Amino acid sequence: MTTTAPSATDRHDALIDRLPPDFRFGAATSAFQIEGATAEDGRTASIWDTFCRVPGAVDNGDTGDIACDHYHRMPEDVALLAALGLDTYRFSVSWPRVQPGGRGPANPAGLDFYDRLVDELLARGVTPWLTLYHWDLPQELQDAGGWPARDTAHRFADYAELVHERLGDRVEHWTTLNEPFCSAVLGHVEGVHAPGGRSLADGVRAVHHLHLGHGLAVRRLRSAARRPLDIAVAHLLGTSRPASGSPADREAARRADAFGFRFYLDPILRGRYPRDLIDDLAARGVRIPVRDGDLEIIAEPVDTLGVNYYRSMRVCGTDERGATVDAHGAPVTRGLPHGGLPVTGLGWEVMPHDLTELLLRIARDYPGVPVIVTENGAAYEDRPDAEGFVDDTERTAYLAAHLAAVAEARVRGADVRGYFAWSLLDNFEWAYGYAQRFGLVRVDYATQTRTPKRSALWLRDTAHRVRGASGHG
Ligand code: FCB
């Protein structure tokens, strides 16, 4: 008998089969990316409605006006989820739908939609995993200063309470914010997301006020709750390796780690901002606007940490010409691809091994908090057949490799309890518009027909196998 080396699929399956039967399998979406109906039932504009109208801001001039028309097709979408055997659905609530303008009383018609969604999920045995803020700030709050203004944090806590008042009897899992890094840095420093600002100082203020809003909301939810809630925050995380052993590259990787990773986890899980980050910012004339008592609020314990993972970068401390400071005198911190790796349709390098490393680092540096991978997935150029079916072998392999990476982290000691694929549906991929498709389920935007792709069927079968492996589920 000859033996051959196990294939990648066999290796992945062997790891995945070590997941426990109660491991959560879910899919994620967000309100602005799927709902459409942006002017119905009292909803007012969000910063993304505004940003979509800025010429050149979004590829192809795409908007969220119709998106996947989920607002009108919600029962069909929930049925799809249930048919895929996913036990958890991570969705977000649209702030301008439930509290138009971002202050004052709730809009009952807006809340009705989420009320129906939650009931529909529960009726089909799917656990609702609610995110309060996935980037769609009411435009009126932006006009009043947005996240760089401290008041927005208080407005967010009020909004959290309004949503809880209506849904808290049935929703146990609450995530305050999705990826404050993107809201703050892509939106206020790099200008590529709404509201399109380009100021480091604004971005830093935004991060602090997002953290503060999170902490205030956690307190508000806990004091309003009549039963224990599972409260989380979801962060976009990756690893930052130095591009070489040179001091400039090592220092750049440290800076990137401080600004892109520890800026988010340290205040929440350790109750302080990293000293080196404070010094890096001071050298650039920027201060985090911390007031007495803020850090105690921000570090209010969470029950779960949500980790969104897509890719990692190498970090280089010199520009193309070898200079270590840029034209403004700021130190160069440049992300580079690793090279030689497969890439997704967005050119993002496929690095499942880094997900294992990342989860082990969290277990080591921030012990005691259970983790859920609240987003992971890939855009590829899908080619539907005549029936609309997409045989997305690349996406399937991507999901399998990353789920195996999660399983490996668990075997090595990380407390990871679930994995949610991004995304249930092809949808509005922010500045990339509709051309980039991340869905497990294909959406034909002309007809709004939904067709599960091969990756969806793979996830269904995998979840089934894991649950069944020990006779559960
Ligand atoms: C994450 C976002 C999500 C989606 C994926 C691809 O950063 O949270 O809305 O855009 O990236």
Query: Tens digits of per-residue pLDDT, 155-210?
Result: 999 999 999 999 999 999 999 999 999 999 999 999 999 999 999 999 999 999 99
Tell how far the Cα of 34 is from the centroid of ligand 1, in angstroms.
12
Residues with CB under 6 A from ligand 1: 30, 33, 178-179, 182, 236, 308, 375, 422, 429-430, 438
Ligand 1 pocket mutation pick from 91, 193, 422 by most atoms within 8 angstroms of CB = 422
What is the structure's pLDDT at 60?
98
pTM over 0.85: yes
User: What ligand 1 atom has the least distance to the C-alpha of 236?
Assistant: 7
Residue 39: Cβ within 10 Å count: 11
Residues 159 and 162: their CA atoms lie apart, in Å, by 5
Domains of the chain, first to last: 8-467 (3.20.20.80)
pLDDT digits (tens, 9 = 90+) for 13-40: 999 999 999 999 999 999 999 999 999 9
Mean pLDDT of the chain: 97
Ligand 1 centroid to 124 CA: how many Å?
26
Is it the case that residue 472 has pLDDT exceeding 50? no
Question: Separation of 188 CA from ligand 1 center, angstroms?
Answer: 17
